[in-house]
Structure 1
Amino acid sequence: MASSVRGTARVLPNSASMEEARKRTFEFFKEACRALPSVMEIYNLHDVATISQLRSTISQEIRKNAHISNPKVIDMLLFKGMEELTNIVDHAKQRHHIIGQYVVGREGLVQDLGKKDEGSSDFLKKFYASNYF
């Protein structure tokens, strides 16, 4: 990636091949993992997550797009990922954004509804479920 997380992200030329896009993806993953200790400190996440859990979340987010075979699309996703990482490190997000997106995640919110909504109507159960997807 050749750019630091802090500051403005430099737009790199498009990847010439899938191998180059793959290499850039691994570099982005390493850079994101290197930023995790400072992210833990900035957002005071020690009580809700570990670095290992956040590293797994980053890995899952990257693997969601493993089926993509167009290097230009991969480059665009890497740019968006770097932009997100820069926003997080520059403290442009609030703690609850980080916890909701990367610690709890959408699946966690739905699973937490189990015991709490036992007395709720079917309408409310469907409403809650639809708002978490």
Structure 2
Amino acid sequence: MTTIPSRLARLTKSSSSWDQARSSSRSLYRQWMRAAPEIVSLYALNIPAYAIRAKVREQFERNQHVSDIKAVDVLLLKGHQDLQETLNCWKMDSHVLRWFAAEELPPRPDNFLDAFYNSRDDSKEVQPTA
């Protein structure tokens, strides 16, 4: 598949009303939902499409309480850019998998000793060298 950079390009636009911003947001959300299976196949991920959709939904819900219309326009621009970069394969697999990295990180230790004890590897036995 050849990459056509202008395939998903969008002009920057300012929303004149909340209704227009909402419809733009819904349109972007639908584009992401429709693109989830294509993202999985493009990057050959071992993640189902519904997991990608859940991550996208999480990002949209995280920003649902933004009350400044100019901030919403910036978020929409960034969302369109991210979609374009993802579908044109301008990202690497690690960039896409980074969406899921936050869930897999272990909790950070509270103090130095806990961090020190967690870094020890008692499961490996040291073999003496002859």
State TM-score, norm by structure 1.
0.72
> Structure 1, residues 63-83: CA drift from partner, whole Å, max 9, x if none?
111111122211110110110
Taking the aligned partners of 1:8 and 1:41, their CA distance within structure 2 comes to 18
> Structure 1, residues 26-65: CA drift from partner, whole Å, max 9, x if none?
11000111111211111011x2x11111111001101111
**Percent identity of paired positions between Structure 1 and Structure 2:** 23
CA RMSD across the alignment: 2.6
> Structure 1, residues 107-131: CA drift from partner, whole Å, max 9, x if none?
32235x89xxxx850696xxxxxxx
Q: Does 1:71 align with 2:66?
A: no
Q: Which residue of 2 aligns with 1:99?
A: 97
Q: Give the letter for the 1:22 counterpart.
A: R
Taking the aligned partners of 1:70 and 1:122, their CA distance within structure 2 comes to 46
- 8 Å CA contact 1:68, 1:74 repeated in 2: yes
Mark the structure with the bigger radius of gyration: 2
- Kindly report structure 1 stretches of 4+ aligned residues shifted beyond 3 Å: none
Q: CA deviation at 1:96?
A: 1.7
Q: Give the letter for the 1:107 counterpart.
A: E
Taking the aligned partners of 2:94 and 2:19, their CA distance within structure 1 comes to 37
Instruction: List gaps (5 residues or longer) in structure 2.
Output: 120-130
Q: Which residue of 2 aligns with 1:27?
A: 27
Instruction: List gaps (5 residues or longer) in structure 1.
Output: 125-133
- 8 Å CA contact 2:21, 2:72 repeated in 1: yes
Q: Give the letter for the 2:36 counterpart.
A: L
Q: CA deviation at 1:6?
A: 5.9
- 8 Å CA contact 2:40, 2:49 repeated in 1: yes
State TM-score, norm by structure 2.
0.73
